[in-house]
Chain A
């Protein structure tokens, strides 16, 4: 028997054990880092909650007056689980009415809020559907209900309208046809299929993460996107702060 065989086996065994401990150690370290990150989020959440209550009580001067005229169109994205609790959505809308917001687009990916539209309109004082107000000034709040079907599907429907225009405008011997492929034409086509093309100034996301969750891409171009946390634990002060921060934003639109 070769003396090297057991040595090689031992060396390999040590290597494997070291490898395993290394992996286990790395895993522990990773979990520890995430515990620290979570603690940081908890602490920052506590500070935000305290600040929010201070804002609600009017203790922080700068939030006592907001130039709400700057906020022409607000959109709210609600996570599906939160959208099932219509009462919280109604409460949020009541807060927005108090602040003076005139136009709100409510989005959830599966259209649960669309289905509860009548209930919401009934429960929110002086609220009307945006389509019914048009450009008329209203003392209340104009609501729009949006879902994922108003995103890519709607663009494809509008694209087919442009396609038909393109086919009609093609002349024999000239492949290109009229240029119906401009942003203006797409806006028009989206209106024809019943979509709003208003670009929200501010998008508030109520859910676990900062993600627009499929809000109509065509309308999201220069929108400020703010994560508000869970709808269940929403705070009036945080809402005021987000809107106030928006009113201080200066956009240069890439220029």
Chain B
């Protein structure tokens, strides 16, 4: 009986996988965003909604969504994905919750390291961006290890944004560019826009084409406001752990509808 159920389950998974790939094949007839950013909001509300116990219960459910979203983006062929995992303002939460989130991040990074070592990451390149000095030493070291392990991968680039806010990023970028100007004795002591932009945490990826926020909130919450001048901002009412295939497909369809206009905006001199 168990064997029969296991076989049916495999068949069903196989069928859904084929259907999903077919849907993506149709989707890929149109333009696909080069970079999608996700503001992963709603984990705590999800935990409350489903009476999950523990301060990190919602975030654990949220991590499952992360794995699916990365898989779907990889299958669609999106080159860059950014995940807003932890903002600087989030440090103001209850210390117990912050500690749980840091521990959970460490656990998941170590799990991903194991997968990278055993070759199960399907060419995924993981980068951590943000003020990593605000993280505890163990987490920082683990993040660094994962980045080094996946550095040579040439598949989907997943940028995990931690200890970040746009205002902090801009100030730190200004600081860093000033220091670099002083060190570089040759150039004139005047900052250009490119000097500041190349010092930003998110300078490693192109500007996002599509920013998706889960949880039904209409704000960017201090996330990539500098980089999203020409991005389509999409909000979905689904809480992050509820975000699935159809939410992603709907957002990309919306992007495709507006693609010509967004391209026109990119060509116009906005900045």
Provide the bound-state CA to CA distance between A44 and B88, in Å.
38
**Out of A156, A159, A167, A210, which one reaches B232, CB within 8 Å?**
A210
Please tell me if A218 contacts chain B, counting CB pairs below 8 Å.
Answer: yes
- Name which residue of chain A comes closest to B177, CB basis: A159
Can you list, as one digit per residue, whether each of B70-108 has a CB less than 8 Å from chain A (1) or not (0)?
000000000000000001111011000000000000000
Residues of A near B268 (CB, < 8 A) are: 80, 109-110
A10 within 8 A of B: no
**B26, A26: Cβ atoms closer than 8 Å:** yes
Cα-based distance from A38 to B254 in the complex (angstroms): 10
Measured as residues with beta carbon below 8 angstroms from the partner, the interface class of chain B is: 35 or more
**Contact between B271 and A217, CB atoms less than 8 A apart:** no
- Bound together, the chains give a CA A183 to CA B88 distance in angstroms of 13
How far apart are A37's CB and chain B's nearest CB, in angstroms? 5
**Known contacts A80-B268, A212-B233; A222 and B219 CB within 8 A of each other:** yes
Pick the contact of B170: A30, A155, A249 (CB < 8 A): A155
Does A213 sit within 8 A of B, measured CB to CB?
A: yes
B253 within 8 A of A: yes
Complex interface bits, A129-162 against B, C-beta within 8 A gives 1, otherwise 0:
0000000000000000000100111011001101
Tell me the bound Cα distance from A226 to B268 in angstroms. Answer: 23
CB A152 to nearest CB in B, in angstroms, measures: 5
Q: Which of B181, B190, B229 contacts A212 (CB 8 A)?
A: B229
B270 & A167 in contact (Cβ 8 Å cutoff): no
* B89, A255: Cβ atoms closer than 8 Å: yes
- Decide yes or no whether A39 CB sits under 8 A from chain B: no
Q: In the complex, are the beta carbons of B218 and A30 less than 8 A apart?
A: no
Q: Are A221 and B261 in contact (CB under 8 A)?
A: no
Docked pose: A154 CA to B171 CA in angstroms:
14
Question: Does B93 contact A186, Cβ atoms closer than 8 Å?
Answer: no
Is B189 close to A, CB under 8 A?
yes
Q: Considering only CB atoms, which chain A residue lies closest to B88 in the complex?
A: A254
Q: Which of B1-9, B61-69, B191-199 contacts A (4 or more CB under 8 A)?
A: B191-199
Is the beta-carbon distance between B191 and A159 smaller than 8 angstroms? yes
Q: Are B271 and A214 in contact (CB under 8 A)?
A: yes
Evaluate contact between B234 and A151: CB separation under 8 angstroms.
no
Mask: chain A, 8-20; 1 = CB below 8 Å from B; 0 = not: 0000000000000
Sample of 9 further A-B pairs with CB below 8 A, known A213-B270, A218-B225, A223-B220: A26-B25, A155-B196, A163-B181, A181-B171, A183-B171, A210-B234, A211-B233, A221-B165, A221-B225
Shortest Cβ-Cβ A-B pairs, 6 listed = A254-B89, A181-B175, A30-B29, A214-B229, A217-B225, A217-B226
19 pairs of residues in contact across A and B, judged by CB atoms under 8 Å:
A29-B29, A34-B257, A148-B271, A152-B226, A155-B174, A155-B196, A156-B196, A167-B182, A167-B189, A181-B171, A182-B171, A210-B233, A213-B270, A214-B271, A220-B220, A222-B219, A225-B219, A254-B221, A255-B90
